[in-house]
Amino acid sequence: MAELEISFFLLLILLGLLNAKPPLPRLSIVLLIVGILLAFIPPVVKVIIPWDVVIGLTIPILLWQNARRLFYARWISRYIDVILFLSTITLYSILVAISDDLLWYGSILFGIIAAGIIWRAGEPESASSYFSQLGPLLLIFLLTEIEPALQSPNKYFGSVFSGAALGCLVAFLSVHLARRVSKKQSKWIAIGQLYIAYWIAYFFGVSSLSASVTNLIVFIGLGFYYSLWEENRLRPAPLNSQIGFTILLLLFLLVGWQAHQPLTTRLIIEVIIGSSIALIVAWIGIRINLPSFQNLHSPWSTGIRITTYLLPALLLWPRGAIKQPALIAIAVIATGLLLVASTQMTHYYIPEKSAGEIDTNSYT
């Protein structure tokens, strides 16, 4: 796997870990920092990693863990919110473009991901926005879909619809099976059927991301309709368990060790400036009562939370590695279409009035 893809994978795992609720949060934060620091130490031994298998085992579990955010995500309606989000993208794009020798297309991609990280750091899980979904979905798309999309763009959009149809079919069959087994068994079916949708799409050469996201929305929607989960709590949450969180954390440490990012004075300055931008954006978001920042109250909590999310992205982003404008265009367009489709399907399965009635805070 290329350096660019390794960086994408690290950031994706990091977002998954930061959004989990680990059993030992303080120890987890320390180990996360160790994993980030390992990225700056050249590996003594090169480990051969089967990337296709590792990615295929990681992405479905991250998508499921993120389901509560994706399923209840809403578009931002106020113009001031949109202006602040676009301004944040612009500021980070300029920051990275300076060190990327003004390769603006890669800088825009980082701007989108950085803005999404800031929004995700502040918003509650049960009232998320689609803006905060852009970063993870873009990273997943770039890891799994970009090669076929660049090679055959006309055929690729057909594979997106084929993947969506496949995801729906697997979800319908899985829901009917889950209704005929115990509640405990249905939890395993929920995770397993998502893996089935992903890998069938992979082997048939259609969009694995489209199949997985569509499968997730249809299965969860029908699951709530048929009361598959007790007390309307979406379960399981594998990354909230000690075993699931530890496995993903160990993978992060291994990949972080294998990746090598030189630490320079210029990079440190960028981190300081980037963190300052995040604090200013969060302060503005709190002042204008932006829903995505309603969980941030004091300057101290804002600074710690935003910096924790954004610091790894600033440190690990591969400067100057993205040299294809088509890559950015296809990634943004495909992710946008996927989010629009998710909006329609989500509103179909759960009306606005019932969204607040479903408890998404407990996942044990």
Domain boundaries, the chain: 3-155+230-355
Q: Take residue 224 and report the two structure tokens written for it.
A: 């709530």
pLDDT of residue 141: 80
Query: Per-residue pLDDT tens for 171-181?
Result: 999 998 988 88
Helices 208-225 + 325-349 axis angle, to 10: 10
Q: How confident is the model at residue 68 (pLDDT cuts 50, 70, 90)?
A: low
Query: Per-residue pLDDT tens for 48-64?
Result: 778 788 888 888 988 88
Q: Which of 21-30, 54-63, 284-293 has the lowest mean pLDDT?
A: 21-30
pLDDT of residue 249: 82
Q: Phi, psi at residue 262, to the nearest 5°? A: -60, 135
Q: Take residue 309 and report the two structure tokens written for it.
A: 């999310």
Cβ partners under 8 Å of residue 136, min gap 6: 12, 15, 16, 62, 66, 116
Q: How confident is the model at residue 24 (pLDDT cuts 50, 70, 90)?
A: low
Q: Reply yes or no on whether the pLDDT at 107 is more than 50.
A: yes
Q: How confident is the model at residue 77 (pLDDT cuts 50, 70, 90)?
A: low
Instruction: Report the candidate in 281, 350, 277 with the shortest Cα–Cα distance to residue 314.
Output: 277
